[in-house]
């Protein structure tokens, strides 16, 4: 699962990439705060969405499972819905994601973070990953607007939430994301053309299925280790959380140690 992303570019870049996009009230530049964004706090994030008009609007990470009736449990379960497996959107007609397949949006990002288990290190090492040659890119996601109840006032309000789409990892991401219950997964990285197509009104199931088969090559991903992203401890050299950290030259380089065999991940 991908639970950490980086978005610290100017919103002007989104305006550049999506001509005529409307900025909804409340969307502002948050450069310093968004170098690292984690799903654990269910944060609001600026999302590109087409709801009759193309707009950039804030949504909260983690789709609300509306089939859960207890309000507190409903919110607690959202941590299980921060990622959506792309393999289930079209083929699994019983899945929650199949029902949301026409609610498509894009997450603007300058990078994502993933943790790698390295022999000889007590803790996993975080890596920053981005698409080569791109200052900013967009990760496809599914969104939902649900009716929620304020636990204090009882007021009913509309709440927009999203889930990032993932797929089976390429070899580089398998090498980095090499441990845990959801190892060997990565975000559904797309080409520029597919990003634009993802938020078009007339995208059908066959078109979506073609997009889901897009598997970025390892050579098209740029990666490097960083010091720490979730902890409060500052990076020793005083740099930002997304800055390169060499760990004393003790980390193996990609391709210099054993690579995992390419394999098909479970869809469930």
Beta bridge partners of 140: 106
Higher-confidence residue: 152 or 58? 58
Where would I find the H helices in 53-110?
A: 71-76, 86-91, 96-99
CA distance 241 to 235: 7
Q: Could you report the per-residue pLDDT of 76-102, keeping only the tens digit for each?
A: 899 899 999 999 999 999 999 999 999
Contacts of 12 by beta carbon, 8 Å cutoff, 6+ apart? none
pLDDT at 266: 39
Largest interatomic CA distance in the chain: 58
pTM for the model stands at 0.91
Query: Which domains, ranges and CATH numbers included, belong to the chain?
Result: 4-249 (3.90.1680.10)
Mean pLDDT lowest among 140-149, 194-203, 249-258? 249-258
CA distance 141 to 65: 16
- For the chain, the distance separating the N- and C-terminal CA atoms, rounded to the nearest angstrom, is 13
Q: Could you report the per-residue pLDDT of 206-265, keeping only the tens digit for each?
A: 999 999 999 999 999 999 999 988 877 777 878 888 999 989 888 988 987 767 666 544
pLDDT at 42: 78
Helix or strand run (H / E) with residue 211? helix 205-212
CA distance 145 to 210: 26
pLDDT at 264: 46
CA distance 245 to 224: 8
Query: Are 107 and 188 in contact, with CB atoms under 8 Å apart?
Result: no
pLDDT exceeding 90 applies to what percent of the chain? 63
Q: What is the mean pLDDT of the chain?
A: 89
């Amino acid at each position: 699962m991908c639970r950490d992303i980086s978005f610290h570019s100017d919103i002007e870049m989104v305006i550049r990439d999506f001509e005529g996009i409307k900025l909804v009230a409340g969307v502002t530049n948050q450069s310093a705060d968004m170098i690292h964004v984690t799903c654990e706090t269910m944060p609001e994030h600026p999302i590109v969405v087409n709801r009759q008009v193309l707009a950039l609007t804030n949504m909260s990470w983690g789709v609300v499972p509306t089939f859960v009736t207890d309000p507190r449990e409903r919110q607690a379960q959202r941590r299980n819905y921060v990622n959506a497996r792309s393999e289930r959107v079209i083929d699994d007609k019983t899945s929650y994601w199949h029902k949301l397949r026409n609610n498509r949006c894009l997450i603007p990002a300058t990078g994502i973070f993933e943790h790698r288990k390295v022999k000889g290190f007590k803790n996993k090492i975080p890596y920053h990953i981005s698409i080569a040659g791109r200052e900013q890119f967009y990760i496809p996601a599914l969104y939902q607007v649900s009716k929620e109840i304020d636990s204090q006032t009882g007021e009913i309000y509309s709440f927009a939430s999203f889930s990032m789409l993932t797929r089976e990892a390429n070899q580089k991401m398998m090498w980095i994301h090499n441990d845990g219950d959801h190892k060997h997964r990565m975000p559904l990285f797309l080409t520029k053309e597919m990003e634009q197509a993802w938020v078009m009104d007339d995208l059908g199931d066959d078109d979506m299925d073609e997009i889901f088969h897009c598997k970025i090559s390892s050579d098209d991903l740029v990666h490097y280790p960083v010091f720490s992203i979730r902890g409060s401890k500052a990076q020793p050299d005083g740099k930002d959380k997304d800055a390169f950290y060499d760990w004393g030259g003790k980390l193996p380089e990609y391709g210099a140690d054993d690579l995992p065999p390419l394999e098909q991940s479970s869809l469930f």
